[in-house]
Amino acid sequence: MSEYVAAQRGLRMSEPLFAYSMSQDTMGWAWSVYDEAGEIVASGLDACQDTAKAAVDRAMRHVAWIGLSTPGGRRRAPAGSA
């Protein structure tokens, strides 16, 4: 997508993209946040699904803010630190 098309759609090309997964575990809800390369940048375990989703949202904001998704800046954030 060109920057022009992205701007028309209200997107910024420089903003990092993240994906996440959540799965129910015997101990609660396990979650992981992945960067554009598919590497885990944050993960955790929470008692309920809503708390896990809130943690995922916080982790994605935190990782984007500190710039872990930039090339050369990738490192895994410790669980619960996001």
The domain locations on the chain are 15-82
Task: Please give the pLDDT value at position 80.
Answer: 52
pLDDT tens-place string over residues 4-54? 444 445 545 456 788 999 999 899 999 999 988 899 999 999 999 999 999
| Rg of the chain in Å (alpha carbons) | 14
Task: Please give the pLDDT value at position 31.
Answer: 97
What pTM does this model have? Answer: 0.63
Alpha-carbon distance values, 5 to 11, 12, 18, 41 (Å): 8, 10, 20, 29
> Which of 43 and 69 is assigned the larger pLDDT?
43
Task: Please give the pLDDT value at position 32.
Answer: 96
> Which of 1 and 73 is assigned the larger pLDDT?
73
